[in-house]
Structure 1
Amino acid sequence: MNTHTATAADARSLRLVALLATYIQSANLPLPNAALRLIQGSLSMTDDQAGWIFTAYLAASAITTPVAQWLAGRFGLKRVYQSALALFALGLWLGTLAATPLEFIGARVLQGLAAGVLAPLSMAIAVETLPVEHRPAFAPKWTALVLLGIVSGPSLGGWICEYFDWRPMFYLSLPLTAYIFMVVSLLLAEKKADPRPSFDFFGFGSFTLGMIGLQMLLDRSARMDWFDSPEIWIEALACGLGLYLFSVHVLTRKAHFINKGLFADRNFLCSTAIFFAFGFVLLSTMALTSPMLDEILGYPPDTTGFMTAPRGVGLVGAFLLMGRAPAWIDPRLFVALGVALVAYANWLMLGYSPLMDWTPVAITGFIQGVGLGILMPALSKVAFSTLDPKLRPEATGIFNLIRVYGSTLGVAVVQIFFFNNTQAMHSALVSNLTPYHQALPTSLPALEGLNHLVTHQAAFIAVMGQFKILLVAMLVVSPLVLLLRKPVATN
């Protein structure tokens, strides 16, 4: 075999394992979604703690994503990538051994920290294996793979959980991660930046402190009775201090974590705000739908997982079709169409009923998926079309980071309102039950059954309230579509 052939084969192998790593890290985010009831029962996890399964992964990945390229430039791409793979495998293995909620959440944090590095570096490795002329067309394909992992994770996890257990969900990724590690060890050459790259650690640290403080505040507030707890005050102060220091840093320094030039571009600002709402809806819908089907309506995990498939088909299918959209069509029209479809699907979700079958969930999920699949590429095109080309690399990182924070904060917000509204609705429903109702049972088993029924009704009403929050989120950002300028030809 000649050198050229061997090099081409090595490049193809590296590209394939980089894409496999991309899929694995994105699929493991929602993988436990269809098996929440079994995970909660096995680990004695409360309803509010279940939300941490997603927010821990997302928040941890948001911390490491911005520094992934700096780490690769400073310590070497191969070394950092292998370390992330090892950390990801450790998180998977610890997740299978977890016996308490804290241990499981800790394992999810490790997975998220590694995923935040794997995602951008996998793309970097894959892009470098392609000829220069093929690189611009690769980004949409990579994004489609990330979306495929997110939407297929619940189906895969639900099927494994139904026929085996919830722990084998994580076993599945271990040999694949080991295979990626082996291929990278054999074929990837070490690469460092020369000179050593710089990074605004103060700006990044203050921003991260503010966002993590906000995340902890939202995650812990319901359990700790909000500001009656010293812990919540500490988290609120950390949030305020971090965001204050970051704001002062941005306003007083010429070079920092976020270039001030980005704030001068109206298209980028408006598109980023809409993209935040995109992230807010993307995973929050999944975090609400699967527990509704599994815990409230009583569907088995495999059915719960497969009922999310129409949403994934609509999302990935629409995203790929958008790549073939005629260039002469104004992308702002697609942004408006995507926002309208997502809002319409969220409005249809308000009509869910405990008596429904799978049809409404499949139809609304498909419509929402199509809207999200149209919205994402259209927003990306509009956001960068009027931006200075020198700012695009930095803007790309910020743009995607905002989507991640939209997802993690969205899941936290709906979990707060779900927890509080379930308690409020349970109290309201129980208040109408008095010992003077002739039909009211008196035996203890019958009363337990009645309480179970009331709890399910209260939880279902609370879920409907959270779908309303998602609808409001899209309606709030929808006027920003009118502020978008017509895109110009990109360089």
Structure 2
Amino acid sequence: MTDSPAGDAPPHKTTLDKQVLVIAGVVVLGAIMSILDVTVVSVAQNTFQNEFGTDAAGAAWTMTGYTLALAAVIPLSAWAAGRFGTKRVFLTSVILFTLGSALCALATSIELLVAFRMLQGLGGGLLMPIGMMILTKAAGPERMGSVMAALGIPMLLGPIAGPILGGFLIEQLSWHWIFLINLPIGVIAFIYAAVVLDKNFEPARSTIDVIGLLLLSPGLALFLFGLSGSAEEGTFASTRVLLPAAIGLALIAGFVMHALRTEKPLLDLRLFTNHTLRTALITMTMFAIAFFGSTLLFPQYFIGVRGEGTMMAGLLLAPQGIGAMVTMPIAGRLTDRMGPGKFVLAGVTLIFLGLIPLTFLAADTSYWLIGAALFVQGLGMGMTMTPIMTSALAKLRPTQVPHGSTLLNVTQQTASSIGTALFSVLLATNLSSHKESGLAILSNASEEDYAELVKAGVAPPQPQEQWFEWAASAFGTTFIVACILVAATVIPAFFLPRTRIAPADDAPPMIAH
């Protein structure tokens, strides 16, 4: 097959048929369960503290434990798919996630809840990479953009819909329902997948890379565990952060050396010889750090500075989701015809423009202005995530897709955790810095001087409002870092293909294991 102009592409190659759409529905259901559950639980932290008599650190383990289980199981995706088949692994993942959800709702202590959350994570960690493998096989390389648009929707909307759903369930029903709601979805997803997915599969009689497993899974888990401690400590310069992160990095480095020397590694790092995949993963790393890291700032600003409830904070984020829904299907389909580069560059530019007004946040910034900025960001996000995911896998041969999908998910999960840790520390540092600076000014000001500071806009009219002004300024300063990181994403994005990506058959031979 030769590369052809976009206009020569046959319609059936770029349009999703009924069969692919049906399969996409299965995968999206699984992705929604896995991704939405992360943000739904994040809004229940105070509820868990009150319900189980624990502190913030204890409640945070309901999120940390889930993340660590994800990190441990994602590297197994490619091997599990080859050994047992994507359908069997997907069905098993749905069962584990649904069972974990039911047990979480029955938990009588924080320790049991954390344990059951980890069981959820073991199932949830396989849903996305296995789902990508299923969709890629069903659609083929010519329609990767369109199918990735389907997968990108829950990835982008999860952080927005989660607080709304979680807040509603907790306020109107009880915390148990943030887990019970997964049961009907899980049952539907299992039956749907059992009926729809192809069961013709001859499992490979290959053995697992035990050394690779013992290096990579605990390495990722320890690294992410260390990063998660930075939010609690408010700094990276802590033994709680540095020790596990350093051990994790050492194990990951050991895996890299092992994987490049062994014939059949757990995760084939030789795929990095593929220029398109390598560029896409670098772009994804920078984008995920900036996007998923800065996303956590919005609900904290709405709740902590503006005094909104959890559900209202989620609703205020809705313009971002609406913007993404506008551009994501269009970018997905046109990426198949025109290549990902143009859309990623345009999307990153829109995100940057949408972040600029947020660098000037105050305690009374208009919600209309914030909503407009979020909508512009959403437009950019819809043009960015899907093309990056598409370019990462579109150039791979079918036998390489399982490893490529696993690499993409490991990259996305790790980068998201780095972004969350980075912006948590930045916000904590800026909050402390702005408060200390403000106190230094006000402590030396006479009554007349304070009146002048109020007139100049440096100090609030009422002393009790001082913290909110300082906090808003701290958020604005943190968004400056988000702007810089988003702008830096342009560098790797510039090297993404700006014409239709030729199928893998036209690619030069790759080093295979």
Is TM > 0.5 for Structure 1 vs Structure 2?
yes
Match of 2:490 in 1: 478
Q: Secondary structure at the match of 2:365?
A: coil
How big is each residue's C-alpha offset from its partner over 1:191-246, in whole Å with a ceiling of 9 and x where there is no partner?
A: 76433244434334423333323222222246458788655454144124213312
Matches within 5 A, 1:181-330: 181=190, 193-221=202-230, 223=232, 231-232=240-241, 234-325=243-334, 329=338
Task: Decide which moves more: 247-256 or 237-246.
Answer: 247-256
CA contact (8 A) 1:32 1:166 kept: no
- 1:271 shift after superposition: 1.9
Match of 1:5?
Answer: none
Offset at residue 357 of structure 1 (A): 3.3
Aligned: 1:356 with 2:365: yes
Change (3 A) 1:66 1:383: same
Rounded to whole Å, the distance in 1 between the matches of 2:336 and 2:87 is: 38
Specify whether residues 399 and 119 from structure 1 end up closer, same or farther in structure 2 by C-alpha distance, changes over 3 A only.
closer
**2:475 corresponding residue in structure 1:** 463
Over the matched positions of the two proteins, sequence identity in percent amounts to 22
Is the 8 Å Cα contact of residues 155 and 302 (structure 1) preserved in structure 2? yes
Q: Measure, in 2, the Cα distance between the counterparts of 1:451 and 1:46.
A: 30
1:194 match: secondary structure: coil
Equivalence map 1:126-145=2 (5 Å): 139-140=147-148, 142-145=150-153
Letter in 2 for 1:468: I
Report the secondary structure of 1:28's partner residue: helix
Secondary structure in 1 aligned to 2:384?
helix
Question: Of 81, 93, 109, which residue of structure 2 is paired with 1:84?
Answer: 93
The equivalent of 1:344 in structure 2 is: 353
Residue 14 of structure 2: aligned partner? none
2:412 match: 403
After superposition, the Cα gap between the structure-2 partners of 1:384 and 1:88, relative to the gap in structure 1 and judged at 3 Å, is closer
**Counterpart for residue 453 of structure 2:** none
CA distance 1:368–1:427, change in 2 (3 Å): same
2:341 to 319, 327, 332: 332
Q: CA deviation at 1:77?
A: 6.0
Deviations 1:435-461 (A, max 9, x none): 996699xxxxxxxxx997454444433
Comparing 158-167 with 299-308, greater Cα deviation is found at: 158-167
CA distance in 2, matches of 1:103, 1:454: 41
Residues 142/275 of structure 1: CA separation in 2 closer, same or farther (3 Å cut):
same
| Residue equivalent to 1:63 | 72
Code of the residue aligned with 1:313 in structure 2: it is I
Distance 2:446 2:51 in 1: 38
Deviation at 1:340, TM superposition (A): 1.2
Alpha-carbon distance in 2 for matches of 1:338, 1:227: 31
TM superposition shift of 1:337: 0.8
* Change in 2 beyond 3 A, CA 1:202/1:461: farther
Normalising by the residue count of structure 2, what TM-score does the alignment of the two structures yield?
Answer: 0.76
1:215 touches 1:412 (CA, 8 Å); kept in 2?
no
Q: Aligned residue for 2:167?
A: 158
Following the alignment from structure 1 to structure 2, what is the Cα–Cα distance between the partners of residues 119 and 477? 24
Shift of the 455–27 alpha-carbon distance from structure 1 to 2, 3 Å rule, reads same
| Alpha carbons of structure 1 residues 85 and 356: separation in structure 2 relative to 1, 3 Å | same
User: How far apart are the structure 2 equivalents of 1:383 and 1:228?
Assistant: 34
How far apart are residue 320 of structure 1 and its match?
Answer: 0.2
Structure 2 residue runs without a partner (length 5+):
1-18, 451-461, 506-513
Which SS does the other structure have where 1:298 is aligned?
coil
Which whole-Å deviations, capped at 9, do the CAs of 1:411-457 have from their partners, x for residues lacking one?
122122223333343333344454996699xxxxxxxxx99745444
CA shift at 1:471, angstroms?
A: 1.9
Alignment partners' CA distance in 2, 1:377 and 1:39: 35
From the superposition, tell whether residues 410 and 59 of structure 1 become closer, same or farther in structure 2 (CA, over 3 Å): farther
CA distance in 2, matches of 1:101, 1:289: 28
Cross-structure match for 2:502: 489
- Residue 12 of structure 2: aligned partner: none
2:194 and 2:389 map into 1 onto residues whose CA distance is 34
Report the counterpart of residue 147 of structure 1 in structure 2.
155
Give the letter for the 1:358 counterpart.
Y
Do the aligned partners of 2:148 and 2:389 also contact (CA within 8 Å) in 1? no
Aligned to 2:422: 413
1-structure distance, mates of 2:288, 2:484: 14
Structure 2 residue matching 1:350: 3-state secondary structure: helix
Deviates more, 1:476-485 or 1:22-31: 476-485
What letter matches 2:492 in structure 1? L
How many Å separate the matches in 1 of 2:22 and 2:275? 42
Aligned-partner Cα distance in 1 for 2:76–2:51: 36
Q: Is the aligned partner of 1:176 residue 2:188?
A: no
8 Å contact from structure 1 (residues 82, 184) kept in 2: yes
Segments of 5+ residues of structure 1 without an aligned counterpart are 1-9, 441-449
Q: Could you tell me which amino acid in structure 2 is paired with residue 465 of structure 1?
A: T
Distance 1:215 1:102, change over 3 A: farther
Alignment-mate amino acid for residue 274 of structure 1: T
The whole-number CA distance in structure 1 between the counterparts of 2:312 and 2:271 is 45
1:374 is aligned, of 380, 383, 392, to 383
Distance 1:13 1:465, change over 3 A: same
| Cα offset, 1:410, TM superposition | 1.1
1:440-451 correspondence to structure 2 within 5 Å = none
Between the aligned partners of 1:455 and 1:316, the Cα distance in structure 2 is 36
Residues 342-368 of structure 1: per-residue CA shift (max 9 Å, x gap) = 222222221222102321232122111
CA distance in structure 2 between the partners assigned to 1:479 and 1:435 by the alignment: 46
The one-letter amino acid of 1:302's match is M
| Cα distance in structure 1, aligned partners of 2:77 and 2:334 | 33
Partners of 1:209 and 1:238 within 8 A in 2: no
